[in-house]
């Protein structure tokens, strides 16, 4: 893949965030035997000059692949500490099960962090539009990578990102995602009781969610593709994020360990069940378990700029030389990233 070297997006005020991301990714790579990079993806609907390029974290299991992949999309608060902690846990779980992961930031370059989207219905509605385009921009980016099976790419979204996931599962006239998972989404995105889907969809909702009530997701039937809805009676909104039970904008949010662990396992099982029969991705997953073989075939050139994390294996991108971008004090980073529930984040925006 050809690419142009750039340094991480780090305007004043975001340097701490990028330092934290570099530390997390370096530790994750050491801990999970994975490779990582910070990438920039061209946005087809930028909503302003600053949003013409989207940032993302890209992780892959070590090896040639091609691997199945999952795109992760955050909620309306963007990459806040608790959100990135929850997404990090999902990332590690997916890597352990043989999936590459693209964690997409829809708000950073658009200047929409800090929960401003959460506070306005109009902003939430607009986000559903441009973020649905973001989801397909991410899909096209991954399909251009030689180490990704282009027929085995999945989508997972939280809250507003979950509603985007529903939109993606309904999208017609496009070659879309293999299957989609939506965590505590606004199920109004489904429309009426009978839903026309173009991709299999699994929804995880909380019985105590008073932000987007689980009742909106019940009693739906689907045509075109399968729909599965799982409701966790004791879970509230944002149940997979490492935060204590609390009120945010008047709504109940907070971590629920049983719901988090079960939904994560259900999601991976759902994705595995919808892998194409006898695809290279399926063979790759077998290879990770010590069976089978997988071969890599080059795919189209990506529209992206690549910035490498120092210490990551650069050989998995063709024709691109690594460039050290981390500060020198990050070079010794080796601590295992933690998202334990007793280490609560002080700041939360869903």
Total length of the chain: 350
| Contact call for residues 165 and 184 (beta carbons, < 8 A) | no
Q: What is the b/e burial string over 150-177, where b = at least 16 CB atoms within 10 angstroms of the residue's CB? A: bebbbbbbbbbbbbbbbbbbbbeeeebb
Q: Which helix (H) or strand (E) holds 306?
A: strand 304-308
CA-to-CA separations, 300 to 4, 133, 272, 340, in angstroms, rounded: 16, 20, 25, 40
| Contact call for residues 213 and 184 (beta carbons, < 8 A) | no
Per residue in 114-155, pLDDT (tens digit) is 888 999 899 999 999 999 999 999 999 999 999 999 999 999
CA distance 35 to 348: 28
Note if the bond before 232 is cis, omega within 30 degrees. Answer: no
Along the 350 residues of the chain, how does pLDDT read in single tens digits?
Answer: 322 222 232 333 344 444 445 445 545 554 557 889 999 999 998 876 566 899 999 999 988 889 999 999 999 999 989 999 999 999 999 999 999 999 999 999 998 988 889 998 999 999 999 999 999 999 999 999 999 999 999 999 999 999 999 999 999 767 899 999 999 999 999 998 999 999 999 999 999 999 999 999 999 999 999 999 999 999 999 999 999 999 989 999 999 999 999 999 999 999 999 999 755 555 555 555 444 333 333 222 222 333 333 333 333 333 322 322 222 222 222 222 222 223 323 333 34
* CB atoms near residue 286 (< 10 Å): 14
pTM of the model: 0.75
| Contact call for residues 241 and 87 (beta carbons, < 8 A) | no
Question: Partners of 305 in the beta sheet?
Answer: 4, 40
Per residue in 21-62, pLDDT (tens digit) is 544 554 555 455 788 999 999 999 887 656 689 999 999 998
The domains found in the chain, sorted by start residue, are: 62-293 (3.40.50.1820)
* CB atoms near residue 12 (< 10 Å): 5
- Cα separation of the two ends of the chain: 35
């Amino acid at each position: 893949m050809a690419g142009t070297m750039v340094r991480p997006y780090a305007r004043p005020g975001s340097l701490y965030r990028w330092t934290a991301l570099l530390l997390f990714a370096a530790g994750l790579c050491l801990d999970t035997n994975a490779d990582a990079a910070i990438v920039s993806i061209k946005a087809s609907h930028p909503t302003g000059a600053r949003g013409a390029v989207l940032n993302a974290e890209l992780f892959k299991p070590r090896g040639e692949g091609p691997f199945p992949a999952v795109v992760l999309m955050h909620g309306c608060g963007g990459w806040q500490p608790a959100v990135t902690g929850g997404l990090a846990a999902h990332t590690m779980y997916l890597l352990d099960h043989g999936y590459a992961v693209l964690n997409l930031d829809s708000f950073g370059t658009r200047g929409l962090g800090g929960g401003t989207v959460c506070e306005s219905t109009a902003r939430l509605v607009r986000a559903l539009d441009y973020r649905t385009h973001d989801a397909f921009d991410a899909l096209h980016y991954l399909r251009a990578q030689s180490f990704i099976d282009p027929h085995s790419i999945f989508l997972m979204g939280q809250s507003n990102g979950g509603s985007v996931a529903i939109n993606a599962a309904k999208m017609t006239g496009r070659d879309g995602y293999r299957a989609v998972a939506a965590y505590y989404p606004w199920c109004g995105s489904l429309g009426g009781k009978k839903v026309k889907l173009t991709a299999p969809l699994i929804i995880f909702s909380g019985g105590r969610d008073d932000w987007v009530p689980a009742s909106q997701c019940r009693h739906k039937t689907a045509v075109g593709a399968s729909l599965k809805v799982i409701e966790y009676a004791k879970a509230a909104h944002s149940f997979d994020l490492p935060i204590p039970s609390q009120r945010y904008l008047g709504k109940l949010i907070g971590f629920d360990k049983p719901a988090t662990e079960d939904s994560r396992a259900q999601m991976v099982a759902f994705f595995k069940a919808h892998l194409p029969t006898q695809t290279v991705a399926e063979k790759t997953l077998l290879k990770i378990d010590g069976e089978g073989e997988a071969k890599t075939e080059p795919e189209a050139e990506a529209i992206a700029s690549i910035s490498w994390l120092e210490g990551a294996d650069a050989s998995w991108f063709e024709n691109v030389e690594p460039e050290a971008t981390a500060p020198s004090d990050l070079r010794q980073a080796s601590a295992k990233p933690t998202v334990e529930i007793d280490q609560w984040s002080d700041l939360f925006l869903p």
